[in-house]
Amino acid sequence: MRVPDAGHGGAGGFVRDGVWFSVPRREAVTAPAQALVLVDAQVAFLSGAEAVPDAERLVERLATLLERARDAGAVVVHLRNDGEPGAVDEPGAPGWPLFFPVVTSRHEHVVRKADDDGFDGTELGPLLERHGVRRVVIAGVLSEMCVSATALGALDAGLEVVLPHDGHATYGLDDIPASVVSRVAEHALGSDPELVRSVDGVRFTRAAG
C-alpha cells in the first residue's frame, strides 16, 4: 500500500502522527491525459440485477469520459476481465461482453486480462508505450480490486495516474456501503494518483503515437 510520508500533502490527504487527514480533491486535473483505461466495463457489472449500485449514473459518467477521449484523439483501452468458471464475467457468459461498443480505430484497443492488475501479463504496458502515453485516466469497476490494482500497475510503470472520484464503483462489503469501500480504496493508493472530484474535470489530449 502506498502511504504518503508524515506531514506530506497529496491529492488524497496526508499522514501526521499516525492520523490520516483528508485533503479536498481537485476540481480539475492539472494536465490533460493521453489515454483512458476503462477497467472491466462489462455487462455483468453495469446492467441487470448484479450491477454495481447506481450503475446507471456510473454508465453516464464513463460514457462522458469515453466520448471526450475519442474526440481528443487520446488512446482508449477497454480492459475486459476473463473471470473464473462460473463467474458472471466468465468468457462467453452473458455478462462477459463489454458494455460500450468499441470503435474501430488505431487509438482504441481491447485488452483481455485474468488478474486484477491490467498490466500484469498483458499487452497494456507496451501498448501505451507505443502510443507515447505518459499520463492516463483510470475508471471503471471494481474500486478496491481491478481499478486499484491497475492504478498501482500504472504507477509502477512510471505513468501519471488520474482517478476521478465518481468514475469508479464497487459493491458493498457486509455492512459497509459501496461508497465507503470505494473511498477507502482511493485512500489506500496514497498521494501518487491525482484524485479528481468529478469526471467533469478530466481532460484529454491527442496521443503522440
- Active site (catalytic) residues: 146
Instruction: Give the DSSP letter string of 160-207.
Output: EEEEEGGGEE---BTTB-HHHHHHHHHHHTTTSSEEES-GGG--B---
Cα separation, 145 vs 180, in Å, equals 14
Evaluate whether 59 touches 53 at the Cβ level (below 8 Å). no
Is 143:182 a contact under the CB 8 Å cutoff?
A: yes
- Rounded Cα–Cα distance for residues 87 and 43 (Å): 13
Q: Is 195 in contact with 148 (CB distance < 8 Å)?
A: no
Q: Tell me the H-state helices in 32-122.
A: 43-46, 55-72
Kindly report whether the peptide bond that precedes residue 159 is cis, defined as omega within 30 degrees of 0: no
Length of the chain in residues, anyone? 209
Residues 6+ apart with CB under 8 A from 93: 44, 83, 87
